[in-house]
Amino acid sequence: MTQPDYQLEAALTEQGRIRIAGVDEVGRGPLAGPVVAAAVVLDPAAIPAGLNDSKKLTAARRERLYDILHASAQVSIAEASVEEIDALNILRASHLAMERAVAALDPAPDFLLIDGNLIPAGLSIPSQAVIKGDGRSVSIAAASIVAKTWRDRVMVDLAQQHPGYGWERNAGYPTKEHRAALQDLGATPHHRRSFKTVHKILYQE
């Protein structure tokens, strides 16, 4: 199994880039909750061990790395709301969250490594899109860990306000339990009404 490394960042450093941020988002697939993005500028002299695609790590490991990253790197986190997801569409909303995360970095980075195959339109900083970037770049992997940990915590909080959907376990993804609860309990204000599964249940009457 290949681990993400610092090769992309090292090549950029040789070109004179000093502050390279990895950018990733999490939460495109869920039926409920915000989409969350993170931007992380690692200290090349203090890269935490064990950085990887957040989906390949246990929740406990992500929590630990989240704390280490906040102590050793420059980190920013941003969201796009359910209302913004429904108004814009999920791709544009996830890009908006990325743009907000990058804008919150101070001082600003001089280059961005962005997970995926698209560079958000609102970014003016030189950028490179990296397909499956959270498995290739430690900076993007760090951003994926931060974004997922933050979003999971948000969904645990929302689960306490809206019990029955299992968000503390499924983070809003369309599991069998979540879909059944949507049928039985209906939609909450945190459900994405533009998503077909939610829309169908709301308007099946």
Q: Are strands 74-80 and 35-41 parallel, antiparallel or unpaired?
A: antiparallel
CA dist., res. 49 & res. 34, Å (int): 29
Q: What is the pTM of this model?
A: 0.96
- In this structure, what token pair is assigned to residue 180? 């059944």
* CA distances, 122 to each of 92, 116, 185 (Å): 10, 16, 38
CA dist., res. 51 & res. 151, Å (int): 18
| pLDDT (0 to 100) of residue 204 | 72
Residue 146: which of 34, 27, 19, 39 has the closest Cα?
A: 39
Q: Identify whether 107 is preceded by a cis peptide bond (ω within 30 of 0).
A: yes
| pLDDT (0 to 100) of residue 201 | 83
Kindly indicate whether the domain formed by 7-151 is annotated with CATH number 3.30.420.10: yes
Contact between 15 and 26 under an 8 Å Cβ cutoff? The reply is no
| pLDDT (0 to 100) of residue 202 | 81
Q: Which residue pairs from 135-138 have beta carbons closer than 8 angstroms and sit at least 24 positions apart in sequence?
A: 135/2, 135/4, 135/52, 135/53, 136/4, 136/5, 136/8, 137/4, 137/5, 137/6, 137/8, 137/9, 137/22, 137/113, 138/4, 138/5, 138/6, 138/9, 138/22, 138/42, 138/47, 138/51
For each successive 10 residues of the chain (205 residues), what is the average pLDDT? 91 97 98 98 97 96 98 98 98 98 97 98 97 97 98 98 97 96 95 94 73
Side chain identity at residue 99, one-letter code: E
CA dist., res. 195 & res. 137, Å (int): 31
List Cβ neighbours of 65 (8 Å cut-off, separation of 6 or more): 48, 50, 51, 57, 142, 145
Looking up tokens 């994405």 gives 192
